């Protein structure tokens, strides 16, 4: 029996069957055609075979012919397994490039993977051809070609379900043993001078060709000049695409099921390589290309007579990159399937409350205090890699969340044993020695055995570290304690240091050597939201010079980062590979817009958020297939990567080996972006990141694991992450409350948290609940419900004796449940006596019984508010 490997055959519903009235195919004489109402393809028989001669699409109601049509086929062949020795990288002068340097031990292995012959598209023998035969079949056109090493057939048909999509199935049958790899044909080539935008989502993007392989292939800043083949392990959405300057975008979207399953059965298969994506063919011509299988990898070895099948679609539209990319993520890879499958076991509110208990327990949270410079400073153990740390570093994470939780719970443990010593930690974290570094952050981490602060991966100081660990953190403290003169002075010193370091153009360097004060990492630019620190200083101190500088820094950032799609990250251990700082930039620009009302700042924020969606996995499609995780039975959707974001992706980010992270800092920002744009991709990505992730949550602490690959092993070496989780969950829930109430429920947002993303603090001043002022409130045991789909927050106005329960249904079905309130858990040392209770639904009030429990019905992803007068 003939063996067929790596087969994907798409199921076609009755509604999607070919109809001659909507889609036409023709093969007669020397011409063959496929057409729909928006797309026309014509092949002519030439001396070389059947060659694509014309590709036309309807643009603005008129038919437009695309230049550069080709239709050339290619497959690779090798009798032996391709070489596995990484290539060396040289600059234009022939000098060896030693980046990343040897000390970056986490990123060297994946970087070497990108320099293998298969990844550089130099492996094997390239066999090119145009088909010699064509015939019309039921659904479209069937092209055939006989060659010495293999026979190839290709079925082309229009997809009546999606205008502008052409479905292709390639079948290669080996005529001799060897390794084979199929490429999607070069549909049309875009001249480099006509490049509008190109992208392999998750790897790189831009509007120009970048000669530096490290910048383009490593940092994702521009399109590599070489026809590199990227791996699906950090391709967030499987849709390499190229847009020309006329506004036409072409993409190749491999059929679902082609790429690797990151957890195929009972262990991680994140690093299996079954699918390659590129924006250039092997001749370095700009055109979207997909490869399957990969030469030398799983499924590529064929014996004589064996087959490999590769199914994919071309999408050709008169639209920008984002429209075509969304089509791949939402329509073809069905992003929302996760939300339909999820079955939540623990509410997010419950997680906040349980993590509250975790962070006030010295044992579980690894809290410790140290004496430093005459002060008792407090922080949590950090067991990850730190320069000079020897496993003894301590760190605090989210100051906004710390002060917020203390305020909304009125917890005495937090107020007396955490905040005072965390504040001292912050005071001593600033460099106060006269000189070049005066006012800057001394480092992220404190080393108790060495009695000093240090940066993550070397003896240097980053300007953005001052934005993070002084201005953001001290700024959040000041929101809750505006009379703290020491913190106010710290903010001023830090802001003045940033002003001093800013160049006349409005930019900063990545870092300064601590010993020589000279700039470091000069091969990359500070494409990060460093300007945000000056915005904070302006809002807190009121000095216009800080706002002027923040605007100048933001404009440089928009020109050099946002408009080009070039970003730099903030994790020193990965040499600043692009990361969640890009998501922070979107929120930073939104906050700037709130002040300036300059539409350029709003548009830049939206553009940055769109680019950041490419840091979120949208494949493979979640299912209910059985999997096993360390002996525990799971369904595939429970451990799905879909909806989860990178720490950093690309060629050498942590996602290459470890997959995405569970710290969904971007969720609240994406909800806000949906409110601004009404683009459902933002909302669906926010919800898939936030909801139904119980398989990654430690049941004893409610702390989620950081990296996907460890599943549910809790905080691990990062106990401080619980604060970030409390912060992002609160930001997400309150953003959903605002959205679902049409902004009738809103609470002021504080400053962005340092490092891990764009979530913001709350609780420092009253918000509004349907026009009534109220302070946030969240007390342990205040509300009971049997449904894990019900999330809630409280809000209270003690002067007017009004209590509000903000109730959110976080499921796609109507929630019918009962909620019971414990009136003794609302105000310390007192019991609330209800006088009148009302339900607010869509702004309308109806009276409820003045008891302590109510049966409620909340629409899918809806909100209801119980208003209690007491």
In the predicted structure, residue 248 carries a pLDDT above the cut 70:
yes
Strand segments, DSSP code E, in 739-811 are 745-746, 767-769, 772-777, 783-785, 790-797, 802-809
pLDDT in tens, 799-846: 999 999 999 999 999 999 999 999 999 999 899 999 999 999 999 999
Nearest to 355 by CA among 746, 790, 776, 663: 663
The pLDDT of residue 23 is 56
Sheet containing strand 375-382, strands side by side = 367-372, 375-382, 393-395, 445-447, 452-454
In the predicted structure, residue 24 carries a pLDDT above the cut 70:
no
Nearest to 441 by CA among 754, 207, 215, 75: 754
Nearest to 190 by CA among 215, 204, 207: 207
Taking residues 637-663, report their average pLDDT: 97
Place of tokens 């430690």: 698
Identify the three-state secondary structure at position 556: helix
Taking residues 117-126, report their average pLDDT: 97
In the predicted structure, residue 218 carries a pLDDT above the cut 80:
yes
Strand 204-210 versus strand 221-224 pairing type: parallel
pLDDT in tens, 722-756: 999 999 999 999 999 999 999 999 999 999 999 99
Helix axes 473-480, 399-409, angle to 10 degrees: 20
pLDDT in tens, 147-163: 999 999 999 999 999 98
DSSP string, 384-419: S--TT-TT-EEE---HHHHHHHHHHHT-HHIIIIIH
Sheet containing strand 815-821, strands side by side = 783-785, 815-821, 853-858
The pLDDT of residue 2 is 32
The pLDDT of residue 506 is 98
Higher pLDDT, 195 or 1: 195
In the predicted structure, residue 71 carries a pLDDT above the cut 70:
yes
In the predicted structure, residue 26 carries a pLDDT above the cut 90:
no
The pLDDT of residue 27 is 62
Confidence of residue 427 (pLDDT cuts 50, 70, 90): very high
| CB atoms closer than 10 angstroms to residue 595 | 14
Confidence of residue 562 (pLDDT cuts 50, 70, 90): very high
Cα 510 from Cα 711, distance rounded (Å):
34
- Sequence-distant (6+) residues with CB within 8 A of 861 are 687, 736, 740, 809, 810, 811, 812
Confidence of residue 715 (pLDDT cuts 50, 70, 90): confident
Confidence of residue 392 (pLDDT cuts 50, 70, 90): confident
In the predicted structure, residue 18 carries a pLDDT above the cut 90:
no
The pLDDT of residue 847 is 97
Cα 719 from Cα 436, distance rounded (Å):
34
Quick check: bond before 864 cis, omega within 30?
Answer: no
3-state helix, strand, coil split of the chain in percent (to 5) is: 30, 30, 45
Q: Are 757 and 665 in contact (CB under 8 A)?
A: yes
Assessment of whether the complete model's pTM goes beyond 0.85:
yes
The sign of the torsion formed by the CA atoms of 782, 785, 786, 788 equals negative
The pLDDT of residue 390 is 81
The pLDDT of residue 15 is 33
Find the radius of gyration of the CA atoms of the chain.
28
Where is 727: in which H helix or E strand? Answer: helix 721-740
Cα 273 from Cα 159, distance rounded (Å):
28
The pLDDT of residue 499 is 98
pLDDT in tens, 156-190: 999 999 989 999 999 999 999 999 999 999 999 99
The pLDDT of residue 138 is 83
The pLDDT of residue 25 is 65
In the predicted structure, residue 561 carries a pLDDT above the cut 90:
yes
CA 788 to chain centre: 26
In the predicted structure, residue 3 carries a pLDDT above the cut 60:
no
The mean predicted confidence, pLDDT, of the chain is 95
pLDDT in tens, 298-318: 999 999 999 999 999 999 999
Strand 178-188 versus strand 783-785 pairing type: unpaired
Structure token digits, residue 144: 């055939």
In the predicted structure, residue 556 carries a pLDDT above the cut 70:
yes
Higher pLDDT, 9 or 689: 689
Q: Are 709 and 361 in contact (CB under 8 A)?
A: no
In the predicted structure, residue 444 carries a pLDDT above the cut 90:
yes
Cα 713 from Cα 721, distance rounded (Å):
13
The pLDDT of residue 98 is 82
Cα 106 from Cα 709, distance rounded (Å):
15
In the predicted structure, residue 13 carries a pLDDT above the cut 90:
no
The pLDDT of residue 536 is 98
Any idea what DSSP says for residue 703?
P
Any idea what DSSP says for residue 40?
E
In the predicted structure, residue 384 carries a pLDDT above the cut 90:
no
The pLDDT of residue 147 is 98
- 702 forms beta bridges with none
The pLDDT of residue 21 is 35
Any idea what DSSP says for residue 318?
S
The pLDDT of residue 599 is 98
In the predicted structure, residue 16 carries a pLDDT above the cut 50:
no
């Amino acid at each position: 029996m003939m063996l067929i490997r790596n087969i994907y055959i798409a199921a076609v519903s009755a509604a999607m069957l070919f109809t001659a009235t909507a889609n036409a195919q023709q093969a007669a004489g020397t011409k063959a055609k496929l057409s729909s109402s928006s797309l026309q393809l014509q092949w002519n028989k030439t001396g070389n075979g059947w060659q694509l001669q014309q590709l036309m699409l309807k643009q603005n109601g008129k038919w437009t012919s695309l230049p550069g049509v080709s239709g050339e086929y290619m497959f690779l062949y090798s009798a032996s397994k391709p070489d596995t020795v990484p290539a060396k990288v040289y600059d234009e002068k022939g000098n060896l490039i030693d980046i990343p340097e040897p000390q970056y031990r986490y990123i060297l292995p994946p970087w070497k993977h990108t320099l293998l012959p298969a990844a550089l598209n130099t492996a094997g023998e390239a066999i090119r051809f145009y088909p010699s035969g064509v015939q019309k079949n039921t659904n479209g056109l069937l092209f055939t070609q006989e060659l010495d090493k293999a026979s190839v057939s290709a079925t082309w048909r229009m997809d009546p379900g999606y205008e502008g999509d052409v479905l292709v199935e390639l079948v290669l049958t080996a005529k001799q043993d060897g390794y084979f790899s199929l490429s999607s044909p070069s549909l049309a080539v875009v001249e480099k001078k006509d490049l509008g935008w190109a992208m392999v989502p998750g790897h790189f993007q831009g509007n120009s060709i970048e000669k530096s392989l490290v910048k383009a292939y490593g940092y994702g800043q521009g399109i590599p000049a070489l026809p590199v083949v990227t791996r699906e392990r950090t391709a967030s959405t499987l849709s390499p695409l190229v847009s020309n300057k006329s506004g036409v975008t072409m993409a190749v979207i491999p059929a679902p099921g082609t790429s690797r399953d990151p957890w195929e059965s009972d262990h991680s298969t994140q690093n299996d390589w079954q699918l390659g994506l590129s924006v250039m063919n092997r001749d370095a011509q700009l055109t979207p290309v997909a490869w399957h299988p990969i030469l030398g990898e799983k499924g590529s070895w064929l014996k004589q007579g064996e087959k490999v099948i590769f199914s994919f679609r071309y999408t050709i539209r008169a639209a920008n990159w984002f429209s075509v990319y969304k089509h791949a993520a939402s329509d073809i890879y069905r992003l929302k399937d996760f939300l339909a499958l999820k079955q939540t076991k623990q509410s997010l509110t419950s997680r906040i409350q349980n993590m509250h208990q975790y962070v006030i327990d010295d044992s579980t949270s690894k809290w410790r205090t140290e004496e430093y410079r005459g002060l008792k400073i407090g922080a949590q153990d950090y067991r990850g890699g730190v320069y000079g740390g020897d496993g003894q570093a301590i760190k605090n994470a989210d100051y906004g969340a710390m002060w917020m939780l203390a305020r909304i719970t009125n917890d005495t443990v937090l107020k007396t044993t955490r905040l005072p010593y965390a504040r001292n930690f912050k005071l001593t974290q600033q460099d106060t020695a006269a000189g070049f570094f005066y006012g800057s952050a001394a480092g992220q981490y404190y080393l108790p055995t060495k009695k000093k602060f240090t940066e993550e991966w070397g003896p240097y100081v980053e300007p953005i570290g001052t934005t993070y660990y002084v201005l953001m953190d001290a700024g959040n403290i000041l929101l809750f304690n505006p009379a703290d003169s020491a913190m106010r002075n710290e903010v001023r010193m830090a802001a003045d240091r940033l002003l001093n370091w800013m160049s006349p153009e409005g930019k900063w360097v990545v870092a300064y050597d601590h010993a020589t004060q000279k700039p470091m990492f000069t091969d990359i630019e500070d494409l990060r939201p460093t300007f945000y620190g000056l915005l904070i200083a302006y809002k807190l101190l009121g000095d216009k010079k800080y706002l002027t500088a923040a605007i100048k820094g933001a404009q440089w950032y928009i020109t050099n980062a946002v408009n080009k799609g070039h970003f730099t990250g903030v994790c020193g251990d990965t040499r600043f590979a692009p990361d969640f700082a890009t998501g922070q930039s979107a929120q930073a620009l939104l906050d700037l817009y709130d002040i300036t009302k300059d539409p350029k700042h709003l548009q830049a924020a939206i553009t940055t958020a769109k680019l950041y969606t490419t840091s979120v996995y949208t494949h493979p499609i979640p299912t209910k297939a059985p999997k096993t995780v360390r002996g525990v039975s799971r369904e595939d959707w429970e451990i799905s990567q879909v909806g989860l974001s990178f720490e950093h992706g690309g060629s050498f980010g942590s996602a290459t080996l470890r997959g995405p992270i569970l710290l969904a800092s971007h969720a609240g920002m994406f909800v806000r972006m949906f409110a601004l744009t009404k683009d459902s991709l933002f909302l669906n990505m926010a919800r898939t990141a936030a909801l139904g992730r119980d398989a990654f949550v430690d049941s004893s602490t409610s702390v989620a694991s950081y990296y996907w690959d460890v599943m549910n092993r809790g905080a691990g070496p990062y106990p401080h992450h619980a604060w970030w989780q409390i912060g992002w969950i609160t930001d997400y829930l309150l953003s959903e409350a605002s959205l679902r109430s049409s902004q009738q429920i809103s609470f002021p947002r504080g400053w962005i948290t340092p490092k891990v993303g764009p979530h913001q603090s709350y609780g420092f001043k009253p918000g509004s609940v349907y026009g009534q002022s109220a302070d946030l409130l969240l007390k342990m045991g205040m509300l009971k419900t049997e449904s894990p789909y019900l999330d809630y927050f409280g809000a209270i106005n003690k002067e007017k004796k009004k209590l509000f329960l903000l109730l959110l249904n976080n499921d796609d079905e109507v929630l019918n449940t009962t909620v019971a309130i414990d009136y003794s858990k609302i105000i310390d040392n007192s019991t609330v006596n209800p006088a009148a209770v009302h339900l607010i639904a869509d702004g309308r009030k109806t009276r409820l019984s003045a008891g302590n429990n109510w049966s409620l019905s909340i629409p899918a992803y809806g909100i209801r508010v119980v208003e209690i007068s007491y």
